[in-house]
């Protein structure tokens, strides 16, 4: 442990300095959900995470929604929440980092509830690993993903294909990434995505000019998480129910 890590740990309450054990990660593939119930699900599972010996990757699709992060500027919202509702698009403010983004069916959203001690409690390293997972997934489909200096996310050429916005609570990550696979990109026309005026969004289907199977991409994402984070995949997560 370096000096910086020791100093940080010594300032934490005793119950917070004991890191959750991580034997690997499980997945909760939740299907399609509205944003608010998915956020409530994250919150509940995040509170349970310190009692587990594994990490959790929640994977799902959202009903159409625009979400605002902590860095959102209202001028980046091109339609009011009322106008969005008239187009059957929800609007939700969140506690994640970043600006505005759009979620909709055909887009794979991932919420990793991961112990960041695996990344030496280095948030930037964690973000780079998330980007690497996406870049290596794209490569499996013949697409070259790349980074943009000073910006978080993944691009293919000049177009952005994946957005990332995370939050951390007691060194456990939540919120996460959104990879455009076969979603309707018109939803992004209601915002300045991520506050980047010069960025156009794209999807895997648009880049490849063919249909892309979301299930296949999901399985590839899981494989790449295991490789990039050097964690065994432990299978599906099954919630315990009271009888």
Residue among 4, 119, 194, 207 flagged as catalytic: 194
Contact by Cβ (8 Å): 2, 121: no
Distance of alpha carbon 12 from its chain centroid, rounded?
A: 27
Q: Which is it for strands 90-93 and 65-68: parallel, antiparallel or unpaired? A: parallel
Q: Give Dmax (Cα) for the chain.
A: 55
Examine the residue annotation and report whether 194 is marked as an active-site residue of this protein.
yes
What is the per-residue DSSP string for the chain?
--HHHHHHHHHS-HHHHSPPP-S-EEEEEEEEE-HHHHHHHHHHHHHHGGG-SSEEEEEEEE-SEEEE-TT--GGGB-S-HHHHHHTT-EEEE-SSSSSEEEE-TTEEEEEEE-BGGGGTT-HHHHHHHHHHHHHHHHHHTT---EEETTEEEEEETTEEEEEEEEEEETTEEEEEEEEESS--GGGGGGB-GGG-TT-EE--HHHHHTS---HHHHHHHHHHHHHHHTT--EEEE-------
Beta bridge partners of 167: 174
Which residues carry out catalysis? 194
């Amino acid at each position: 442990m370096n000096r910086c890590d020791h100093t940080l740990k010594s300032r934490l309450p005793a119950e917070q300095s004991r890191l959750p054990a991580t034997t690997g990660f499980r997945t909760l593939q939740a299907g399609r959900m509205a944003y608010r119930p998915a956020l409530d699900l994250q919150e509940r599972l995040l509170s349970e995470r310190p009692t587990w010996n594994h990490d959790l990757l929640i994977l799902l699709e959202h009903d159409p929604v625009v979400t605002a992060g902590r860095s959102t500027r209202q001028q980046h919202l091109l339609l009011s929440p009322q106008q969005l509702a008239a187009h059957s698009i929800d609007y939700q403010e969140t506690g994640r980092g970043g600006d505005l983004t759009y979620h909709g069916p055909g887009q794979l959203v991932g919420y990793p509830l991961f112990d960041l001690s695996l990344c030496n409690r280095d948030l930037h390293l964690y973000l780079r690993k998330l980007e690497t997972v996406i870049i290596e997934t794209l490569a499996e489909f013949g697409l070259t993903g790349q980074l943009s200096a000073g910006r978080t996310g993944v691009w293919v050429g000049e177009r952005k294909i994946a957005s990332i916005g995370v939050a951390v609570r007691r060194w456990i990550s939540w919120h996460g990434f959104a990879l455009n696979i076969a979603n309707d990109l018109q939803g992004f026309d209601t915002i300045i995505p991520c506050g980047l005026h010069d960025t156009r969004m794209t999807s895997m289907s648009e880049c490849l000019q063919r249909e892309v199977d979301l299930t296949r991409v999901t399985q590839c994402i899981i494989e790449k998480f295991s490789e990039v984070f050097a964690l065994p995949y432990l299978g599906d997560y099954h919630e315990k129910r009271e009888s």
